[in-house]
Amino acid sequence: MPSEAIHGHDATVSAPITADDLTGSVASWLSHMTYNRDASNATITAYRRDLDQFHAFLARHVGYPPALADLAALDLKTFRAFMAARRREGLNSRSLARTLSALRSFFRWMEAEELITGRAVMRVQIPKVPHSVPKPLTVDRAKAVMDLGMAAELDWVAARDTAVLLLLYGSGLRISEALGIKVKDAPVPGRDVLRIVGKGGKERLVPVLPVNQQAVASYLKLCPYPLDRDDPMFLGAKGGPLSPRIIQLLMERMRGALGLPATATPHALRHSFATHLLSAGADLRQIQELLGHASLSTTQVYTEVDRDRLLAVYDQAHPRA
């Protein structure tokens, strides 16, 4: 029986976490999720981590690296014990729900591949995830963020940061989408539409305002590093791809300078883009397309943010109001 080295919730097993047949099955499933289900790199990384945690738990539970046969024999009690252990380690309901989703998907795949039959995981109750509403900036505060960026001394780093912020707010991009733009796709003057590949490989077209185009052109002109067509457009101080953390730190400094709330993050600029469009009368389905949401129900959360305006429209327009 393999020896173990367990140290709290960062426990590691000195022997391999899983037997060869289970290790191979996990690799095949992750490959299936990548190439057949178009799962993002972030999703694959999270799923791999979830399965590693589960298999480490099982190794401690049974005393040896589990194999496929061990997974087939698992009962509801074991899955509940794992979820309870993860809860004690500090995982919130959202992370626990994702973990359970990963386990269910893995077990369904193994059943479809006729590797094992085990349905106990399907009977574990999904943790309730607290309903959250996006926290956008007000129009004035969003404008203040943009103005502060454009008022910065125009060295190449300031020009870069301004261009990134304008794409987040002006085009509703996720930070990963903005930082993933290649030089050959740079939205410079004359290119007022940008093709974005978002979550799950979903493509969409987003408009690029003239002020955004000019900001990108200014950054490219000032950037001191040579840029090839297939290079990332936004570079860090040492010439490598720009890290999202740099933009997060930039927003932290702006929170202090402008007295913004703690919710003023780079992603809040995307929320602000959607909420301000809705406030100006944009159609919800148009906003869905611009944000790249697969489901309208995801976009509908913005109607809660803009509830007062919607009620005012109702009061003015409904004949019985």
Is 131 marked active-site? no
Residue in 47, 169, 219, 302 annotated catalytic: 302
Is 88 marked active-site? no
Is 293 marked active-site? yes
By the 10 Å C-beta count (0-12 exposed, 13-18 middle, 19+ buried), 75 is classed as exposed
Residue in 32, 98, 199, 204 annotated catalytic: 199
Residue in 293, 307, 309, 320 annotated catalytic: 293
Is 267 marked active-site? yes
Residue in 141, 174, 271, 276 annotated catalytic: 174
Residue in 55, 270, 271, 276 annotated catalytic: 270
Tell me how far apart the alpha carbons of residues 237 and 259 are, in angstroms, rounded to a whole number: 27
Question: Do the Cβ atoms of 178 and 164 come closer than 8 Å?
Answer: yes
Is 199 marked active-site? yes
For tokens 């939205």, the residue is 187
**Residues annotated catalytic, as ranges:** 174, 199, 267, 270, 293, 302
